[in-house]
């Protein structure tokens, strides 16, 4: 990879000052890292031998970090139910029948969609993830792969700690460090206490992260209280499930003050998924309180089945709107905070903020160019009283992303994916879906879905 200078009209740094540099440039080294940042004429003059890519009518910013998503092929086919019924009716039967080839096709499709709307890092909880690793390696996205593990007699159709470990051994640190593998757990209720212990031992042994869903719905809290006479975050702490080297929890909608305190003290990252939480009628997370307590809150789209797209700009806008609506406070969750949740704070929620999330020297060149020559970006006013950050949160859409670079490699240019034929990926998905759905229907016809939780 040759060094390159990216020269844009605006550099949205997402450093600690939320600085925006006009007519700025970043020098990307052959190692895929940012080597210098400054005024374009100075960076160019200091590196006369380096090719300059002029991003005119573009702003350059760190790539978005999708802190919680699921690859999948169920878009628009799992509608109108709250989360636990929805799992039994639509999702778990799919898990029973999905095969390796279908899982790989889903990851190719979802990572391509992610790159096209400016996500350079995804945390994906999914199945048969060797295929996901192949997809991330080929398409060029940075991925944290987290298998959907269950270790419970009632949920014996998911990934297991054994398949999770095999994936760690094969892929953790793979694709030049772009692919990392954590230990995953669908939900605490999907594993036995003995398996909880083994999961955390495995994360500690491999010095990797741990990711699960928690406090998503009121049911989640009530059921945990019924079983253990305590709230979910208290239970996770008591049972050692916050003891991995790094922990990221998805949702965390229904939280007590004491639970927020635990998350802050234990430096647990939270992935906030406002669209999923609205669509499944789960509730409005206490994001403002989490941020005030110092918890690193990233944003996640959740899966194609609960969103129904993977556009993080939509997620940014929705996080702002939901915070304002749920608190009846038009000033709640200001636009810079949302920009940080989508980038550098999302990186911190993953424990990767030393590597990604801002345009700073030494970090990975995970960068995106966003068009500014569009009606929805107009007018664009910079400076202290400007509207650039408001436009980024409330006006921009994923389709405005023009270029995506991961680790110094351009993988989307002029809005087109360079690392695969997008039409082929779409055709593969369309071809795979009828058989997947037929097998799920066959399973459902033979087995009335049961509420496994009710008999535990
Ligand atoms: Zn999820």
Q: What is the pLDDT of residues 124-137, one digit of tens each?
A: 999 999 999 999 99
Phi and psi at 437, nearest 5°, equal: -70, -35
In percent, how much of the chain has pLDDT > 90?
91
DSSP string of 366-397, one letter each residue: -EEEEE-SSGGG-S---STT--HHHHHHHT--
Q: Burial letters for 80-90: b for 16+ Cβ neighbours within 10 Å, e otherwise?
A: eeebbebbbeb
Tokens in use for 109?
Answer: 């499709």
Q: Give me ligand 1 centre to Cα 182, in Å.
A: 15
Torsion angle of the four alpha carbons 121, 411, 164, 98, in this order, in degrees rounded to the nearest 10: 110
Does the structure show a pLDDT above 70 at 259? yes
The percentage of residues in the chain with a pLDDT greater than 70, rounded to a whole number, is 98
Q: What is the pLDDT of residue 451?
A: 56
* Cα–Cα distance measured from residue 212 to residue 249, given in angstroms and rounded to the nearest whole number: 5
Q: How many of the other CB atoms lie within 10 Å of CB of 112?
A: 23
Q: Ligand 1 centre from 128 Cα, in Å?
A: 16
Q: Which of 45-59, 64-78, 82-96, 118-132 has the lowest mean pLDDT?
A: 82-96
Q: How far is the CA of 453 from the centre of ligand 1 (A)?
A: 18
> Separation of 149 CA from ligand 1 center, angstroms?
13
Query: Ligand 1 centre from 388 Cα, in Å?
Result: 31
pLDDT at 418: 98
Q: Which residue has the tokens 């509420």?
A: 451
Measured between alpha carbons, how far is 326 from 118 in angstroms, rounded to an integer? 28
Number of H helices, E strands in the chain: 17, 17
pLDDT in tens, 325-370: 999 999 999 999 999 999 999 999 999 999 999 999 999 999 999 9
Per-residue pLDDT reduced to its tens digit, 303-322? 999 999 999 999 999 999 99
211 Cα: distance to centroid of ligand 1 (angstroms): 10
Q: What distance in Å separates the CA atoms of residue 171 and residue 38, rounded to the nearest whole number?
A: 36
pLDDT at 452 (0 to 100)? 52
Edge to edge, what strands does the sheet with 409-413 contain? 34-39, 20-28, 4-12, 51-62, 367-371, 401-406, 409-413, 416-417
Reduced to 3 states, what is the DSSP secondary structure of residue 451? coil
> What pLDDT, on a 0 to 100 scale, did the predictor assign at position 456?
52
Q: Ligand 1 mean position to 70 CA, how many Å?
A: 6
Examine the pLDDT at 454 and tell me if it is beyond 60: no
Average pLDDT over residues 288-310: 96
Contact 323, 278 (CB under 8 A): no
pLDDT at 449: 62
* Res 455 pLDDT > 70: no
**pLDDT band, residue 397 (cuts 50/70/90):** very high
CA 52 to chain CA centroid, nearest Å: 31
pLDDT of residue 82: 82
Domains annotated on the chain, with CATH: 4-62+368-417 (2.30.40.10), 64-349 (3.20.20.140)
Q: Give every CB contact of residue 357 below 8 A, 6+ residues apart in sequence.
A: 14, 62, 65, 343, 344, 345, 346, 347, 348, 363
pLDDT beyond 80 at 190: yes
If phi > 0 it is left, if psi is from -120 to 50 it is alpha, else beta; for residue 341 that is alpha
Using alpha carbons, select from 316, 258, 327, 248 the residue that is nearest to residue 286: 327
Rounded CA-CA distance 28/364 in Å is 9
CA of 187 to the centre of ligand 1 (A): 10
Structure-block tokens of residue 449: 């879905």
Q: What strand order describes the sheet that includes 64-69?
A: 179-181, 142-147, 119-126, 64-69, 297-299, 269-272, 246-251, 209-214, 183-187
pLDDT digits (tens, 9 = 90+) for 369-379: 999 999 999 99
The Cα–Cα gap between 179 and 232 comes to 30
**pTM of the predicted protein model:** 0.96
The vertex-8 CA angle with 143 and 122, nearest 5°, equals 10
State mean pLDDT over 106-134. 98
Least confident of 85-89, 148-152, 233-237, 302-306: 85-89
pLDDT of residue 415: 97
Q: What is the pLDDT of residue 450?
A: 59
Q: What is the pLDDT of residue 90?
A: 86
The Å distance, Cα 212 to ligand 1 centre, comes to 8
The alpha carbon of 68 and the centre of ligand 1 are apart by a number of angstroms equal to 6
How high does pLDDT run on average in the chain? Answer: 96
């Amino acid at each position: 990879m040759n060094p390159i200078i990216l020269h844009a009209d605006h550099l949205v740094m997402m450093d600690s000052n939320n600085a925006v540099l006009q007519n700025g440039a970043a020098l990307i080294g052959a190692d895929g890292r940012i080597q210098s940042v400054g005024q374009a004429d100075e960076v160019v003059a200091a590196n006369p031998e380096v090719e300059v890519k002029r991003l005119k009518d573009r702003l350059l910013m760190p790539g978005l970090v999708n802190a919680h998503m699921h690859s999948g092929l169920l878009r628009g086919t799992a509608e109108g139910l709250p989360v636990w019924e929805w799992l039994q009716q639509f999702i778990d039967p799919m898990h029973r029948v999905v095969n390796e080839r279908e899982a790989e096709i889903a990851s190719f499709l979802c990572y391509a969609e992610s790159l096209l709307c400016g996500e350079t890092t995804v945390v994906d909880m999914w199945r048969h993830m060797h295929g996901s690793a192949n997809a991330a390696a080929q398409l060029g996205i940075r991925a944290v792969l987290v298998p959907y593990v269950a270790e419970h007699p009632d949920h014996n159709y998911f990934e297991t700690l054994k398949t999770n470990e095999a994936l760690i051994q094969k892929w953790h640190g793979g694709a030049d460090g772009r692919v990392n593998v954590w230990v995953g757990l669908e939900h605490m209720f999907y594993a036995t206490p003995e398996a909880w212990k083994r999961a955390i031992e495995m994360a500690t042994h491999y010095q990797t992260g741990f990711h699960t869903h928690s406090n998503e719905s009121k049911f989640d809290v009530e059921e945990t209280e019924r079983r253990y006479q305590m709230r979910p975050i208290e239970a996770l702490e008591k049972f050692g499930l916050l003891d991995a080297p790094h922990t990221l929890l998805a949702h965390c909608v229904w939280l007590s003050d004491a639970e927020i305190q635990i998350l802050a003290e234990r430096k647990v990252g939270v992935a906030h998924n406002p669209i999923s939480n609205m669509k499944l009628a789960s509730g409005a997370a206490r994001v403002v309180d989490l941020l005030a307590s110092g918890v690193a809150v990233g944003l996640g789209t959740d899966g194609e089945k609960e969103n129904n797209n993977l556009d993080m700009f939509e997620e940014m806008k929705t996080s702002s709107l939901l915070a304002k609506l749920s608190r009846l406070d038009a000033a709640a969750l200001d636009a810079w905070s949302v920009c940080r949740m989508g980038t550098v704070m999302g990186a911190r929620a993953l424990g990767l903020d030393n590597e990604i999330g801002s345009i700073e020297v030494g970090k990975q060149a995970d960068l995106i160019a966003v068009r500014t020559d569009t009606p929805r970006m107009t007018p664009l006013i910079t400076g202290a009283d400007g509207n650039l950050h408001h436009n980024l949160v409330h006006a921009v859409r994923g389709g405005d992303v023009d270029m995506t670079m991961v680790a110094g490699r351009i993988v989307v240019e002029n809005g087109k994916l360079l690392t695969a034929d997008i039409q082929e990926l779409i055709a593969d998905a369309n071809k795979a879906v009828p058989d997947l759905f037929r097998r799920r229907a066959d399973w459902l016809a033979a087995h009335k879905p049961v509420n496994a939780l009710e008999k535990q």
